[in-house]
Amino acid sequence: MKAKALLDLKKNKQNLIIFFSAVIILFSFPLYDKFTKNYINESLKSSLITYALARSLNAGISVIKNSSIEAGAFVSGNVALGEVVDPINDAVERFSTLLTNALWVLGSEKVLYELSKLWGFVILILILAFLNIFINSSILKRLILILLFLRIYMPVSALIFHYLEKSYFIPQINQNLNIIKYTAQNNTLNSSSINKIKKEVKYYLQNSDKIIFSLLNIAAIFITKLIISILIIPLLFLYILHKIKLE
């Protein structure tokens, strides 16, 4: 009997801790909402700029390929000048696909974040947390913790990525993006003359490794960000949730 009373006391204490934790989290995290909103908007803006540069580079390569075909330009034998830039073109296409997926993820995170800020969402958590004081249910507790995670997910991600981007991601992206920007801005064909085509293709031949390497570096950074955002942080939360004893 005494053991049962102690167990009930422990459960009631746990329920109260969950309730007050929910209250503290829900009323403290709005302080980070402005910071989080700025982070999301800046991330979308940066991704869109990178995507636009990649597409402009792709457009320039397409012009070279089409112009070389129309002009009947060849390097030697049957190898058209346009075929020389195919490796870069393929790399840009794959890079654009990756950026498109990254933009979809960022857009989804923004929608999820905006939903988590709604007062209806906040009130639902508070109601469930209050009911949890009187209804001892591990399922209810886990549901509350999951909803709390959805509320704090973007603010926590924003804080983590603010540090990572400032110290590593942004300098690396800008360094590699400068190469793509220079190529896109300075290698746009205005004519279909053989000499002009050869000049542009020569540039791509001499700098193809550098261009592809820059695309790969930026792609690796975006993949790393996606892995941290949609895999590592949620898995870490699930691990913590699994370790918390809610029985």
- What pLDDT does 232 receive? 92
- What pLDDT does 73 receive? 46
Are 22 and 148 in contact by the 8 Å Cβ rule? The answer is yes
Is the predicted pLDDT of residue 122 greater than 70, yes or no? yes
What tens digit of pLDDT does each residue of 213-233 get?
A: 888 999 999 999 989 988 899
Q: According to DSSP H, which parts of 117-169 are helical?
A: 119-134, 138-164
For tokens 């261009």, name the residue: 211
What tens digit of pLDDT does each residue of 52-72 get?
A: 888 887 777 776 666 554 444
Is the predicted pLDDT of residue 191 greater than 60, yes or no? no
For tokens 């004893």, name the residue: 245
Is the predicted pLDDT of residue 16 greater than 70, yes or no? yes
- What pLDDT does 197 receive? 63
| Cα angle for residues 63, 52, 168 (degrees, 5° grid) | 125
- What pLDDT does 5 receive? 45
- What pLDDT does 224 receive? 92
163 exposed, middle or buried (CB, 10 Å; 0-12, 13-18, 19+)? exposed
User: Could you give the CA distance from residue 190 to residue 247 in angstroms, rounded to a whole number?
Assistant: 72
- What pLDDT does 134 receive? 85
Instruction: Provide the residue ranges of all domains of the chain, joining segments of one domain with +.
Output: 33-122+152-243
| Cα angle for residues 208, 211, 217 (degrees, 5° grid) | 135
- What pLDDT does 84 receive? 64
- What pLDDT does 30 receive? 81
Q: How confident is the model at residue 81 (pLDDT cuts 50, 70, 90)?
A: low
User: Could you give the CA distance from residue 131 to residue 129 in angstroms, rounded to a whole number?
Assistant: 6
User: Could you give the CA distance from residue 188 to residue 61 in angstroms, rounded to a whole number?
Assistant: 8
**Among 149, 114, 147, 144, residue whose Cα is nearest residue 132:** 144
Reported in sequence order, the residue ranges of 8-109 that DSSP labels E, i.e. its strands, are: 74-76, 79-80
Is the predicted pLDDT of residue 80 greater than 60, yes or no? no
Query: Tokens for 209?
Result: 């490794």
- Identify residue 20 by its one-letter amino acid code: F
User: Could you give the CA distance from residue 190 to residue 210 in angstroms, rounded to a whole number?
Assistant: 24
Phi and psi at 117, nearest 5°, equal -85, -15
- What pLDDT does 124 receive? 92
Average pLDDT score, the chain:
79
**Among 81, 102, 71, residue whose Cα is nearest residue 193:** 71
What tens digit of pLDDT does each residue of 131-163 get?
A: 888 887 888 888 998 999 989 898 888 888 888
